[in-house]
Structure 1
Amino acid sequence: MILQRWKRRPDGSNWGDFGPDDAVGRLNLLTPERVLAAVQEVRTGISFCLSLPLDLPGGNVANPRRHPPKLVATVQDGVPVYNRSGSQAAGFASTGVVSDDAVLLYTQYSTQWDSFAHIGAAFDADDDGQDEIVYYNGWRAGETVVSPIENPHAEPWARFENPNAHELGVDRLAETCIQGRGVLVDLHALFGRERHFVGYDDLMRAMDAASTVVETGDILLLYTGYDQVILEMAGHPKREVLHGTCAGLDGCDDRLLQWITDSGVAAIASDNRAVELLPGRCVETKGLSAPLHHHCLFKLGIPLGEQWFLRDLANWLRQHGRTRFFLTAPPLRLPGAVGSPVTPVATV
């Protein structure tokens, strides 16, 4: 028998609704029946890659702790295995040529999913008057989300070794496959490249403009035009542009948060940096710099996808008077990671 990990759950959360050991949240709503219904959105067989090149936006002005991928050749006998004849590389015929590589990859640098281990909170889940660090559904820091061990002899980028999100790792999301009906809301059509906090009224206006309907189990995609801004900077981003361009959700709008709760969406993704605009405007009143992340990842178990490439899909949908499509978007099955690159595919 699995014991519930909490005696008190956050107001407005769904902890326990999918079971005491649940670790995939509203992805539980992607049932076989809903996936079959989503397949019916495929009418032309045309597919769209929804990932940016993973070396974009470039540099680290978007987030100083994240850097572009570093691609290197693997090494055998002190020699890089690139354009190497089979006679030099064990296991290959002498007439063959082999290349082999490796990558240092920051899992949340470019097009990516956040797992539920990305955002936790100090909260009195034991109802004993003492806050403890917990994550979605009461999973605990130190037990589930385990901090790294410092190795002072390692390279600086690898100094803190072996962190592990265990049951809340992004690999648990990968196991669900994340396939279902995607629904795109075109915020760019209303706000262009204006930095605009999108509240409930704005979102409803954007949905009404395209007769957009969101149902339980849908995956909500928000197009803001930010992906095109990233592409135009060609790997040399400017800080004021990255932090001052295009719309995003207003995580401080309580009516918007309630709509997300009531809508039954299984996941939310956007082409902008964080789905919501950061920092949130309610840091002083709510004490949260990323209130939508708190609501979705911590309270409801709704994965968040960031910096997706939505331009071509959005243009096609607009031209054909559609808002729905079949979406496949599993993260890497990387055990214990708190985020993952993703190459989502939308098929119309």
Structure 2
Amino acid sequence: MQTNRRWTERPPGSTWGDYGMDDQIGRLNLLTPERIRAAAREVREGLRFCLSLPLDLPGGNVVNPRRLPPKLMPTGPASNYRSNFPLTQIDPRLTDVVSDDYAIIHLQYSTQWDSFAHVGSWFDIMGDGVPRMTYYNGYQANRHVCGPVDYRSGSAMACDDPMQARALGIENFAATPIQGRGVMVDLLKAWGPGRTAIGYDHLMRAIDTQSVEVETGDLLCFRTGYSDALIRMAGNPDGAELQRTGAALDGRDERLLQWISDSGVAALIADNYAVEHLDDRPEPSGEAPYASLPLHEHCLFKLGVPLGEIWYLSELADWLGTHGRSRFLLTAPPLRLPGAVGSPVTPVATV
């Protein structure tokens, strides 16, 4: 293991430095040409499935109070909005009618990727006894991932652009781009529509029962039924019902986290919010520090495993189950938006 100017110590079990000291894509490095060719061999029928919800779902801000539905607006001043705008207003000889719009969008509102700049942790990266706010591969808060406030001092940030991930931004996932072999585990089929915290034993039972094979570099998908509930709620989500809906990975199960490490998966994807179980779970006792999002910390901070949330997987999962399959070609690049910590995505599965 090498060290560099950013860190001399890495978290136990992490992949920091394994793909290079300046790596920003983590286990997406495992999407090699050989694995892409293997993924392409899963295309037998030439059928495509859209794995994105409409980006105005869930609806409202019940799922996450900080995130609001997108707003679409026509460009131009109110005197001549570019909405059904006849260019005869400019020149009576012109026959064109033009509409042009823009969006205000919370990038992680609906079907999304989390970048590695989304969740970090306090860690003593220099081995000097001073924990620092740090992200994957030792990139630091307030230096590589900027914001308008330095929470260590409460002062305004001095960054030239205080709202930019100068490292680990979502554009790295777009430039890679994300394409590989998707593998489906149908947790709805295995554990029903209610909320089940999926630990190692739960997951292994589902994988064994459904004869799923997971290999290094796979993009592992979990169908839980959560997004189906969002569709039924039609933009008016019931928070209490959603908390009772769909299985979610138990990030406090150390054996599950170790399996994720050992499996070599390149990404984890689910049709639910957050991928991991958040509601009504016991928190660790005692005074020891712990992560409120242990799966996010394990995947985004330690391993460099992207997380996909609130995807639409049911139509694909049903087709795969009917045809005795679990593998497919998955193409899912995010927006190439420099500096963003997350992004909407319109994934495509091909079988």
Match of residue 154 from structure 1: none
Matched, 1:63 2:64: yes
Structure 2 match to 1:79 = 80
Secondary structure of the 1:87 match is: helix
Cα drift, residue 142 of structure 1 = 1.2
In 2: Cα distance, 1:93 partner to 1:53 partner: 39
TM-score (normalised: structure 1): 0.93
* 1:303 and 2:313 correspond: no
Q: How far apart in 1 are the matches of 2:4 and 2:90? A: 53
Indicate the percent of aligned positions where both proteins have the same amino acid: 57
Classify the secondary structure of the residue corresponding to 1:275: coil
Residue 327 in structure 1 maps to residue 330 in structure 2: yes
For 1:304 and 1:6, the matched residues in 2 are separated by 24
Matches within 5 A, 1:256-275: 256-275=256-275
- Pairwise CA distance, 1:283: 4.4
Q: Match for residue 227 of structure 2?
A: 227
SS at match of 1:163: coil
Q: What is the distance in 2 between the residues matched to 1:233 and 1:89?
A: 45
Give a deviation string over 1:215-266, Cα, whole Å, max 9, x none. Answer: 0000000000111111000000111012221100000111100000000000
- Over 3 Å counting, the alpha-carbon distance change for 1:299 and 1:80 in structure 2 is same
Structure 1 position 34 matched with structure 2 position 25:
no
Q: What's the counterpart of residue 153 of structure 2?
A: none
Distance 1:63 1:93, change over 3 A: farther
CA apart distance, 1:93: 7.6
Moved more, 334-343 or 3-12: 3-12
Which structure 1 residue ranges, 4+ long, deviate > 3 Å from structure 2? 87-90, 279-286
| Runs of 5+ consecutive residues of structure 1 not aligned to the other structure | 151-160
Cα separation, partners in 2 of 1:31 and 1:89, compared to 1, 3 Å = farther
C-alpha distance after superposition, 1:245-293 (max 9, x if no partner): 1100000111100000000000010001011111554444662211000
CA deviation after TM superposition for structure 1 residue 340, in Å = 0.2
- Counterpart secondary structure, 2:269: strand
* Residue 97 (structure 1) shift: 0.8
Q: Give me the whole-angstrom Cα distance separating, in 1, the residues matched to 2:206 and 2:278.
A: 21
> How many residue pairs are counted as aligned between the two chains?
337
Q: What's the counterpart of residue 178 of structure 2?
A: 178
Q: Distance in 1 between matches of 2:85 and 2:331?
A: 36
Q: 5+ unaligned residues in a row in structure 2: which ranges?
A: 151-160
1:124 deviates by 0.5
| 1:312 aligns to 2:315 (yes or no) | yes
Distance between the aligned counterparts of 1:132 and 1:81, measured in 2?
A: 48
- Counterpart in the other structure of 2:148: 148
Residue 52 of structure 1 corresponds to which residue in structure 2? 53
Q: 1:77 to 1:71 in 2, by over 3 A?
A: closer
